[in-house]
Chains A and B, each alone.
Chain A
Amino acid sequence: MSEPVYRLEVLTKIFDGTLTAVNGVDLTVRPGEKVAVIGPSGAGKTTLFRLLNLTVRQTAGRLWIAGQEIGDLHGARLREMRRKIGTVYQQHNLVPRLRVTHNVLAGRLGTWSLPQALRSLVRPREEDLRAAHRALSQVGIPEKLWARTDELSGGQQQRVAIARVLLQNPEVILADEPVSSVDPTLAHGIVKLLVELCSTFHKTLVMNLHSVDLALAYFPRVIGFRDGQVAFDRSPDEISDDLLTDLYAGRLTSVSAEDSPDAVPETIRSGTPLLRPQ
């Protein structure tokens, strides 16, 4: 039995001494697992993710990644650890003015020295170009290799972000609301793409989702997160409507479903998905 990819012990993050975003979380994620995290906005999901991809340091508690405790890592060792974790953000992952190929190849920066990185910016190596092209094919847009990134649509840019993560070849992929800024008709396609890629390449996947339907449809393990803590941690068939109502309770009143991207979906749980999967 191999080491868990993530092990959290009473992990806590408090901002400026007053705002407790993550409150004593215990969690274990095994290699190859696919985990969805759902919950109302402001619950601390994004902070949890930033702790998991080493963008912020915890205030208290302990964190192990792939068996190694994250204590005081910095410098090259911190970067090495970061390289093992691939992140797909909601939007603005990419550098707009660069060509798609450079944004994709940026996934290799963790393994490149500075001169190598600079050289690639001026004139990428043949083998790197082929790898980037291959990754773009896997996400469905190989022809965009030399396009300028800001000329792509939102959905296409997310695919480029995924291609970059593929090139990075991490052990675990974290996706923080990867489809919240994407046309809803494309959301299924992207979530499915990530899930399938992780299965094919044996990677662990942890995804923050706004849409409960997507979580229940594609993930065997769903974690409800609220007020900085884990509310429940189950498989979809063990999740009742009551459980979901409690999770989002008290958050429905101030927001109308139509006008805010943070609004809770209209049907918390429906027998048929809101959208037809592609």
Chain B
Amino acid sequence: MRPATLLVPAGILALILWSWHGTRFDLIGLLSADGRAQMLTYVQRLFPPDLSPDLLRKVAYWSLETFAISFMGTLLSVAVALALVFFASRNLVFTGVLFEVDEAGRPIRIARIGLYVVARALLNLLRTVPHIVWALIFVFAVGLGPFPGVLALGLHTGGVLGKLFAEVVEDIETQPLEALQAAGASRLQIFFYGVLPRVLPQFLAYSLYRWEVNIREAIILGYVGAGGLGQQIQIAISLFLENKLLTLILAIYLMVTMVDYSSAYLRRRLL
């Protein structure tokens, strides 16, 4: 066996062992009689879920609030992504078939490339800062509540979607665009006739998929004070209200499943 073929599996094994050690992965402890008993007790404390009408009413409200955060957050992110994508796609800004013959002067060319660089950098900034950090920043700026959650999701996901959208735009076939250009269409006309019809369906698919991710993210944002079910989970755990915790978990499960199904349904129907 060549040493090279052994290298990769050996490397992976080493990585795993190192990680096992570093994270203090205590499989034995977990599976020991003591560990199992502890987990069992904890799980037993969760049941039965607290189904008092008062709590259910509140949970319904918090669920809708979380839904609202994910919904508005996703819409904002689509708006942000759309605003930036067309400056962040090389083939629309400075290179490719739309720019071959119609060369503008050097300063304009440099300005175009600059525009592209700035757009890409902005998208990178938006997506690298974790949404939870954005949430903290906005809680800072506008106070507690669901609004900072919307802003955080909108900006962070905007960066993620913007990059995905730009990849879609940069991947489209150039020939239909070339044909439109040869007929004398201006760049903007080519954009509306040739680019948009091609990319919109994929934009929609990515946005719907991202909505599924956002409903989960909206929950974690609650932890830093951005409202919704996440905030309630933190409270329930700190106050040892395990029955309430189970109710919340069930609500989350229902909410997430509902959004997953809606997203899949819309993707089937609209595409």
Interface residues of A (CB under 8 A from B): 53-57, 74-75, 78-83, 85-87, 89, 91-98, 102, 106-107, 109-112, 114, 117-118, 121, 161, 164-165, 168
Contacts and interface: CB of A to CB of B under 8 A. Distances in A.
A92 B183 contact: no
25 contacts: A54-B182, A55-B97, A55-B100, A55-B101, A56-B101, A74-B102, A79-B186, A82-B181, A82-B183, A83-B183, A86-B183, A91-B175, A93-B175, A93-B176, A93-B179, A97-B197, A109-B183, A109-B184, A109-B185, A109-B186, A109-B189, A114-B186, A117-B193, A121-B192, A168-B183
Contacts of A57: 100-101, 103
Contacts of B188: 114
A121 B191 CA distance: 12
Contact of A110 (B184, B192, B193, B197): B184
Contacts of A164: 183
A54 B103 CA distance: 12
Interface of B: 97, 100-104, 173, 175-176, 178-186, 188-189, 192-194, 197-198, 201
A54 B181 CA distance: 9
B193 A102 contact: yes
A69 to B, nearest CB: 15
B102 A106 contact: no
Contacts of B189: 109, 112, 114, 117
Nearest to B185: A109
Contact of B184 (A56, A74, A80, A121): A80
A110 B183 contact: yes
B101 A109 contact: no
Nearest to A164: B183
Nearest to B180: A106
B102 A82 contact: no
Contacts, number: 98
B178 A109 contact: no
B102 A95 contact: no
A86 B181 CA distance: 10
Nearest to A91: B175
B182 A87 contact: yes
B193 A78 contact: no
Contact of A55 (B173, B178, B194, B197): B178
Contacts of A165: 183
A78 B182 contact: no
Contacts of A168: 183-184
B180 A109 contact: yes
A3 to B, nearest CB: 20
A165 B183 CA distance: 8
Contacts of A83: 183-184
Contacts of B178: 55, 89
Given A82-B182, A107-B183, 20 more contacts: A55-B97, A57-B100, A79-B184, A79-B186, A80-B184, A83-B184, A86-B182, A86-B183, A87-B183, A89-B179, A92-B175, A93-B176, A94-B176, A95-B176, A95-B194, A96-B176, A97-B201, A109-B189, A110-B184, A111-B184
Nearest to B101: A57
Contacts of A96: 176, 198
B189 to A, nearest CB: 5
A89 B173 CA distance: 14
Nearest to A79: B184
B103 A121 contact: no
Contact of A54 (B101, B173, B175, B192): B101
A93 B180 CA distance: 8
Nearest to A90: B175
Nearest to B174: A92
B179 A87 contact: yes
Given A92-B176, A102-B193, A79 B182 contact: no
Contacts of A85: 182
Contacts of B194: 95
A74 to B, nearest CB: 5
Contacts of A75: 102
A74 B104 contact: yes
A89 B175 contact: yes
Contacts of A109: 180, 183-186, 189, 193
A106 B182 contact: no
Contacts of A97: 197-198, 201
A125 B89 CA distance: 33
Nearest to B194: A95
